[in-house]
Amino acid sequence: MKRREGLAKLMGREAYVDDLTVADCLWGATVRSSCARGRIREVRFGEGFDWGEFVVVDHRDLPGENVIALIETDQPVLAAEAVRHVHEAVVLLAHADRDLLRRAVEAVEVVVEEEPPIFDFRQPPEPAQIQHGNDNVFKELKIEKGDVDKALAKAPVVVEGVFTTGAQEHVYLETQGMLAWVEDGVVTVKGSMQCPYYVQKALKLALGREDHEVRVVQAPTGGGFGGKEEFPSGIALHAALLALKAGKPVKLIYERGEDMVATTKRHPSWIRHRTAVDTKGRLLAQDIEVVLDAGAYATLSSVVLSRAVIHAAGPYHCENVRIRGRAVLTNAVPFGAFRGFGAPQSLFACERQMDRIASELTLDPVRIRRRNLIRDGEETATGQVITDGTDRLKVLDRALELSSFQHKRRAYLDFNDTHPYLRRGVGLATFLHGAGFTGSGEVYLASEVHVAGLADGKVEVRTANTEMGQGTQTVFTQLVTDRLGLKAEDVVIAEPDTARVPDSGPTVASRTTMVVGGLIEKACDDLRRRLGLGNEERGEVLTAALALWHRQHPGEELLGTAHYEPPDGIHWDDANYRGEAYGAFAWATYVAAVEVDLRTYTARVLDFVAVQEIGKVLHEVLARGQIQGGVVQGIGWALLEDFRFKDGAMANGQLTNYIIPTSDDVPPIRVAFLENPYAHGAQGAKGIGELPMDGPAPAIVNAVAAATGADPCTIPLTPERMMSVLEAREVAR
Amino acid sequence: MTKPEHRDIGFTLNGEEIRFSGTGTERLLDVLRYRLGLPGTKEGCGEGECGACTVHLDGVPVNSCLILVGQVRNRRVDTVESVAPEALVELHTSGATQCGACTPGVVMTARFVIDHPGLLERASVRQLMAGNLCRCTGYDGIIEGIAEALRQEETSP
């Protein structure tokens, strides 16, 4: 089956929020802070504007609590007394004339009495810089197994390394946008988002309204990658507040520059490894410290940190592991969800460290991984015994074979000996990614799915899970056609609308196909049960039964339902970080071949192979597209996307100088899948959305190290950084 | 400040003669989207970097965010709305679209490449498509779709 909404997208007929035409609609805009931290003294409305013509909203217009509801309640909808970052929203304006509105935003001055900001998340705060608790630490986590100190003291070899990664902007091609209106007393918000029920929760709290008084509808969404997980709650509130005050619909669409500077980013990280190994490269102890820059508010940092520490030890078995993590406040824009959710940072450090250990012991980087890769019956850092039966060595071998790894290594040695200024290298990364919410998360979500049997014989899938390009509509359709023996045109995917669909959880964490897809299958079975049919009854029998049921029950609704139930054997101890962190892991090995130009210090990826075991491939084209797209985002994060801060603000908030990969910057991404069906995933599938973000950076940087003999441990590895690591190599010699 | 004078600006849009009343300094992108009811053309960056707003001006791809409507007077503008579904089969099959926000621009550049295979003597498809940023696909779905369409063109009479 081809992507369901594919032709509409190709023809430009998919109506995103900014494409919707609404009568008598105003444009909304946001006035932001003028500095990174301080007390708001005054808001001045400049001369030359008739401010009476504008709808003006500030914190005093909030009917409910001035809080964007998320895990914590620290982030205001609109700053009242104080600001914590330079892009913090203070005042909202609306007007029918968009050009006039743009000029008006410039004419509003937020006067702030500055207080000492803190920008370096590694630096202990001065007393005057403390803004959270007594140390600015939002969250601390610890995983401990065995006796790390003893193992480090006794080990023949200990390798230390420090790794840092930069912020990353999502650059979804459709910027953030919301349309809000009030109809029959119901505040309705429609726009670009991943999680309609997150938005609804935020609207209820800050607008002081009940469930039935707020309605949230997802418009077709032009990319998310985590950037539309939590951020849309705030912009939805802004649009709703303007619409309430204006008594008219309001459209609030971010322009690219505003979107780049003011929205959440991937957390910058600093990670230190101390690894004890024997002379053959067997891991004896892993002592890991993970520090994340959380930015000005808590957002999702505590759970990003959770995923980061759980993935920090990599796909290896080690008896003694200690992982300490903390997420720290700074006065930068709040960092938030981004594909991979902390795992790319910690897996970059882990996999770069594995190559550094191999180099220290003059071991083959393949051999050290082969020796330590977790085997069935062995435990992860949290004590989760892996018993999935996946042949992880086969994943590794397939990647080596497809990439001609050993052949390239030999050939590149000759090439490097003879070429005057080009150096080629090949590098790999082996890794894992846990699918679904961490620990007890899925139990707390308690997702619900409905499959409605309609009178015309069609079946409608009702979930809150959103299509943002990853293929949800197509995969959901396919799951129903396979389960019920229907044609694709007989399956309707309901628009995610909180007035019509149950809360099936957020569209995040690689959970939609695996978890929600599984619930859709169960709801299909329930629908059949309610029709008095057995699980083998399909197709026309079902259609006929639906028609009969509706004749016998005129005006009634027939719903098959399903609720999440955790698989047996899943236990998670959140206090001690022990147990089954995830129901399933996907396993992967990625190989990058890279060429470094010693004249320009640029690195170019020549070849990229991505091999992964993902349970079951439900749709070849969609699954491959997820991997290829994720890999290219990873290439950008590794080499190009250099997020520059100046006093906590993004200094390069334009696509002119924040560089993401073009088609000419990347080679074809060669993808292969291995399958080992997961009993609790839809048709055996495991989640794959985030997995491809984890492997590219370490594989590429390992390849650069192999090409040059340098020891790069910081990304993005821009030409400037490449120059300094190559110069450091010369000094070391 | 005196209001700039409005005047009629005539051009050919998707094969039809139209007249637009404006100052001439409006961005072509905004005129298409908000004045002429053709929201298929998307805004990605507003500074000519991403290519999401690509349209054809006298048959050549341009970023409509960088073109003022006064510049298209008496010229031919074609947007994604002019592309027939039959011309999109290969891109649909290959997975060239995911979120769809870059897609209309990608389609307009892709059609230009497919209709001018001679360009491939001087540049690769990857190079020719480098003006259209896509954050979802990793580009393979796009490149493969264009390559397949070029093969089809070659074998059709």
According to CATH, what is the number of the domain A390-435+584-733?
3.30.365.10
CA distance A639 to A656: 16
| Residue A22 touches partner B, C-beta closer than 8 Å | no
Q: Which residues of A touch B45 (CB under 8 A)?
A: 256, 654-655
Segments of A502-630 assigned E as strands: 558-563, 572-573, 578-579, 584-597, 602-613
Q: Which of A19, A628, A656 lies nearest to residue B137, judging by beta carbons?
A: A628
Three-class secondary structure of residue A273 per DSSP: strand
Q: What average pLDDT score do residues A450-466 get?
A: 97
Question: Chain B within 8 Å of A18 (Cβ-Cβ)?
Answer: yes
Q: What is the pLDDT of residue A732?
A: 76
Per residue in A37-46, pLDDT tens? 999 999 999 9
**What's the CATH class of domain B83-155?**
mainly alpha
pLDDT confidence tier of residue B155, bands split at 50, 70 and 90: confident
* Contact between chains at B42 and A628 (C-beta distance less than 8 A): no
Whether residues B134 and A173 touch (CB distance < 8 A) is answered with yes
For residue B156, what pLDDT is reported?
78
Residues pairing with A266 in the sheet = A168
- Domain B7-81 part of CATH 3.10.20.30: yes
Q: What is the pLDDT of residue B2?
A: 62
CB contact at 8 A, A302 and A577: no
Select from B91, B140, B143, B148 the residue whose CB has the most chain A CBs within 10 Å, as the one to mutate to test that interface.
Answer: B140
Q: Which residue of A has its CA nearest to B107?
A: A10
State the pLDDT at residue B127.
Answer: 98
- Beta carbons of A225 and B135 less than 8 Å apart: yes
Which of A188, A194, A321 shows the shortest CA–CA distance to A264?
A194
pLDDT (tens digit per residue) in A274-325:
999 999 999 999 999 999 999 999 999 999 999 999 999 999 999 999 999 9
Q: Is B81 on the interface with A (CB under 8 A)?
A: yes
pLDDT tops 80 at residue B157: no
- Nearest chain B Cα to A628, which residue? B138
d(CA A472, CA A512): 7
Q: Tell me the per-residue pLDDT of B41-69, one tens digit each, with 9 for 90 and over.
A: 999 999 999 999 999 999 999 999 999 99
Interface of A with B in 156-215 (CB under 8 A): 170-174
A19 in reach of chain B (CB within 8 A): yes
Nearest CA in chain B to A253: B43
Of the candidates A14, A18, A500, A499, the one whose C-alpha atom is nearest the C-alpha of residue A250 is A18
User: Are the CB atoms for B39 and B33 separated by under 8 Å?
Assistant: yes
Can you give the pLDDT at residue B5? 87
Fill in the amino acid letter for A553. Answer: H
Tell me the average pLDDT across A543-558: 96
Distance separating the N- and C-terminal Cα atoms of chain A: 58
Give the minimum alpha-carbon distance from A661 to chain B in angstroms, rounded to a whole number: 8
Report pLDDT for A569: 81
| Inter-CA distances, B9 with A583, B20, B22, Å | 62, 5, 7
Token look-up 């609609």 returns A25
Cβ-defined contact of B83 to A11 (cutoff 8 Å): yes
Q: Give a three-class secondary structure readout of A180-242.
A: EEEECCEEEEEECCCCHHHHHHHHHHHHCCCHHHEEEEECCCCCCCCCCCCHHHHHHHHHHHH
Residues of B whose CB is below 8 A from A10: 83, 85, 88, 91-92, 96-97, 100, 103-104, 107
Which of A255, A266, A662 best tests the B interface by mutation, with the highest count of B CBs <10 A? A662
Contact with chain A for residue B110, Cβ under 8 A: no
Measured CA to CA, the distance from residue A611 to residue A579 in angstroms comes to 28
- Distance, CA of A248 to CA of A449 (rounded, Å): 34
Distances (CA, A) of B57 to A222, B28, B53, B104: 26, 11, 12, 15
Q: How far is CA A334 from the centre of its chain?
A: 15
Q: Which of residues 226-285 of A touch B (CB under 8 A)?
A: 255-257
A250-253 and A177-183 strand pairing: antiparallel
Q: Which tens digits make up the pLDDT trace of A619-673?
A: 999 999 999 999 999 999 999 999 999 989 999 999 999 999 999 999 999 999 9
Query: Cα separation of A175 and A234, whole Å?
Result: 14
The type of residue at A668 is P
Ranges of each domain in chain B = 7-81, 83-155
Could A256 and B46 be called an inter-chain contact, meaning their C-beta atoms sit closer than 8 Å? yes
> Which of A9, A473, A609, A693 would best serve as a mutation to test chain B binding (most B beta carbons within 10 A)?
A9
Predicted pLDDT at A450: 98
Is the pLDDT reported for residue B95 higher than 70? yes
Window 459-478 of A: residues touching B by CB (8 A cutoff) are: 468-471
Chain A: nearest CA to B5, how far in angstroms?
Answer: 17
Per-residue burial over A154-191, b if 16 or more Cβ lie within 10 Å, else e, is ebeebbebebbbbbbbbbbbbbbbbbbbbeeeebbbbb
CA dist., res. A268 & res. A279, Å (int): 34
Res B1 pLDDT > 60: no
Quote the CA–CA distance of B80 and A391 in Å, as a whole number: 47
Does residue A716 have a cis peptide bond before it, meaning omega lies within 30 degrees of 0? yes
**3-state SS assignment for residue B38:** coil
Q: Does A693 touch chain B (CB under 8 A)?
A: no
DSSP A93-138: EEES-HHHHHHHHHHEEEEEEE------TTSPPPGGG--STTT-EE
The percent of residues in chain A predicted with pLDDT above 90, rounded, is 98
Name which of A224, A470, A664 is nearest B130 (Cβ-Cβ).
A664
Q: In whole numbers, what is the pLDDT of chain B averaged over residues?
A: 96
Chain A contact for B98 (CB, 8 A cutoff): yes
Residues 24-43 of B with CB under 8 A from A: 33, 37, 39-43
Q: Round to whole Å and give the CA distance between A697 and A358.
A: 18
Nearest-CB residue to A9 (from B97, B140, B142): B97
- Closest residue in A to B32 (Cα–Cα): A19
Query: pLDDT tens, A97-133?
Result: 999 999 999 999 999 999 999 999 999 999 999 999 9
Task: Name the 3-class secondary structure at A608.
Answer: strand
Q: Is the pLDDT of residue A393 over 90?
A: yes
Q: Which chain A residue has its CA at the smallest distance from B54's CA?
A: A12
A457 Rama class: left (phi>0) / alpha (psi -120 to 50) / beta: left
Domain definitions of chain A by residue range: 15-116+172-262, 390-435+584-733, 447-563
Residues of B in contact with A666 (CB under 8 A): 138-139
Q: Do domains A15-116+172-262 and A390-435+584-733 have the same CATH topology?
A: yes
First to last CA, chain B: 60
Q: pLDDT band for position A730 (50/70/90)?
A: confident
- Of the candidates B22, B35, B28, B104, the one whose C-alpha atom is nearest the C-alpha of residue A21 is B35
For residue A99, give the chain B residue with the closest CA.
B26
The model's confidence at residue A34, banded by pLDDT at 50, 70 and 90, is: confident
> Residue A51 pLDDT more than 60?
yes
Joined tokens for residue A375: 């085997």
Q: Which amino acid is at B121?
A: E
Q: C-alpha angle with apex A567: A565 to A568, nearest 5 degrees?
A: 120
Chain B residue numbers touching A592 (CB-CB < 8 A):
none
Task: Tell the burial category of A552 from Cβ atoms under 10 Å away from its Cβ (0-12, 13-18, 19+).
Answer: exposed
Architecture of domain A447-563: 2-Layer Sandwich (3.30)
Q: Pick A664's closest partner by Cβ from B42, B98, B127.
A: B127
Residues of B in contact with A13 (CB under 8 A): 40
Instruction: Characterize the bridge pairing of strands A157-165 and A714-715.
Output: parallel
> Taking CB atoms and an 8 Å limit, are A628 and B127 in contact across chains?
no
Q: Is A15 on the interface with B (CB under 8 A)?
A: yes
Sign of the CA dihedral running A120, A122, A125, A131: positive
B96 interfaces chain A, CB cutoff of 8 Å: yes
Task: Using DSSP, state whether A67 is helix, strand or coil.
Answer: coil
- Tell me yes or no: is domain A15-116+172-262 CATH 3.30.70.2740: no
State what percent of residues in chain A have pLDDT above 70.
Answer: 100
Q: How far is B75 from chain A (nearest CA, A)?
A: 22
Torsion from C-alpha of A385, A388, A389, A393, nearest 10 degrees: -80
Q: Do A10 and B107 touch (CB under 8 A)?
A: yes
- Please tell me which of the candidates A7, A628, A669 has its beta carbon nearest to residue B92: A7
Comparing CB atoms, the residue among B97, B99, B138 nearest residue A628 is B138
**Smallest CA–CA separation between A629 and chain B, in Å?**
4
- Whether chain A has a CB inside 8 Å of the CB on B61: the answer is no
CB contacts < 8 A, A to B, total 174
**Closest among A715, A727, A725 to A640, alpha carbons compared:** A715
Question: For residue range B14-38, what is the model confidence (pLDDT) as tens digits?
Answer: 999 999 999 999 999 999 999 999 9
C-alpha–C-alpha distance, residues A352 and A715, integer Å: 11
- Mutation to test the B interface, candidates A7, A173, A467, most B Cβ within 10 Å: A173
